[in-house]
Amino acid sequence: MTATICGTGSYIPSYTMDNHDIARLVETSDEWIRERTGVIRRHIVRDETTVSMAAEAARRALADAGAALEEIDLILVSTISSNVVLPCAACEVQKELGAVNATCFDLSAACTGFVLAYNTALAYLASGVCRTALIIGSESLSNLTNWKDRGTCILFGDGAGAAVLRADAAEEDRLRKHYLPVTHSDGGKGAALTCKSRHDFSGLNGGGKEISPEDILDDAHYMQMDGQAVFKFAVKRVPEVIGEVLELNQVKTDEISYYILHQANKRIVEAVAKRLGEPMEKFPMNLQEYGNTSSASIPILLDEMNRDGRLKPGQKLVMAGFGAGLTWGAAIIEWR
């Protein structure tokens, strides 16, 4: 048995910061940011939270799928920037929606998170444990961004994307090809991209030291990145894992309509296209508008393409995520 994405949705905060706004905070320029990353502006939460954005993206995905709330029996939220620790963001989304029949939990795998949420939902649906899943990537990375660090604050933005997956019930659908994903992790290289928990006060109060706000929010509590190491990792591992997933499923590159990559950096997307020998037209990008929204970037892009009519039934798409962990992975979707 396999499953199908039958609806998508997204939510983007209306407040924006363009590169000129960033250049007022750190020593940088619009020209440098555009040239090195492709980002022009990013949307930033004001009144929204990771949970409220997730719930709104979910409502839009449910409407697009024509899915009833009672039908949803699994809600997965991929996030590294939830405004709640307990209960999990997925339970908060369940409460906001009133999807009372769902089992809910969060996943934390940074920019690979949505691909892993998709794989997890697929496994639940394929095994018959669940029938309809709501998967969401939602991030308010602006809360984890050190706005004094020009190596990172130029990159990130906030937003949420969601998709509804249904287990295929019709006989002909059940006989359709089932594409297996490929995912990898290398915890040994995790130091390339880190962020300490706001709840990790270890080392601060040892020895009876009084904790000050400055201590709690030292630089380690914001995202810290070895940009070049992450860049090199991405341009090597992403084409590799796409090659693996294609080979595993006996799918050729000319069968793929679009490669929906995590939107981290224009130069990474271009390098992946070049290494795969595929034309840039197959690599849609929206990072110029939103920056890197981590686990939200793939479902936001998927939703845009669904709504503007670029996605057509029968098309094969590759989703590929990569990021902190380090983690990376790819999955093939047949659009219906």
Site residues, ligand ACO (CB under 6 A)? 28, 32, 36-37, 110-111, 150-151, 154, 193, 227-228, 230-231, 234, 264-265, 268, 292, 294, 323-324
Q: Which is nearer to ligand ACO, 17 or 154 (CB)?
A: 154
Of the candidates 19, 146, 292, 306, the residue annotated as catalytic is 292
221 part of the active site: no
CB of 69 to ligand ACO, least distance (A): 31
Of the candidates 88, 91, 119, 262, the residue annotated as catalytic is 262
Q: Which is nearer to ligand ACO, 77 or 110 (CB)?
A: 110
Q: Are 62 and 164 in contact (CB under 8 A)?
A: yes
SS3 content of the chain, % helix, strand, coil (to 5): 40, 25, 35
262 part of the active site: yes
Q: Are 179 and 332 in contact (CB under 8 A)?
A: yes
Helix boundaries (H) for 158-265: 171-174, 213-216, 227-248
Q: Which is nearer to ligand ACO, 151 or 243 (CB)?
A: 151
Q: Which is nearer to ligand ACO, 122 or 154 (CB)?
A: 154
Name the DSSP letter for residue 172. Answer: H
Pairing status of strand 193-194 against strand 182-185: unpaired
Of the candidates 88, 91, 104, 111, the residue annotated as catalytic is 111
Q: Which residues pair with 270 in a beta bridge?
A: none
User: Residue 306: helix, strand or coil by DSSP?
Assistant: helix
CB of 274 to ligand ACO, least distance (A): 16
Q: Which is nearer to ligand ACO, 22 or 130 (CB)?
A: 22
19 part of the active site: no
The one-letter amino acid code at 256 reads I
Pairing status of strand 41-43 against strand 16-18: antiparallel
Closest-approach residue to ligand ACO (CB): 323
CB count, 10 Å around CB of 267?
15
CB of 211 to ligand ACO, least distance (A): 27
CB of 61 to ligand ACO, least distance (A): 23
CB of 162 to ligand ACO, least distance (A): 19
Q: What is the CA radius of gyration of the chain?
A: 20
Which amino acids are annotated catalytic? Answer: 111, 262, 292
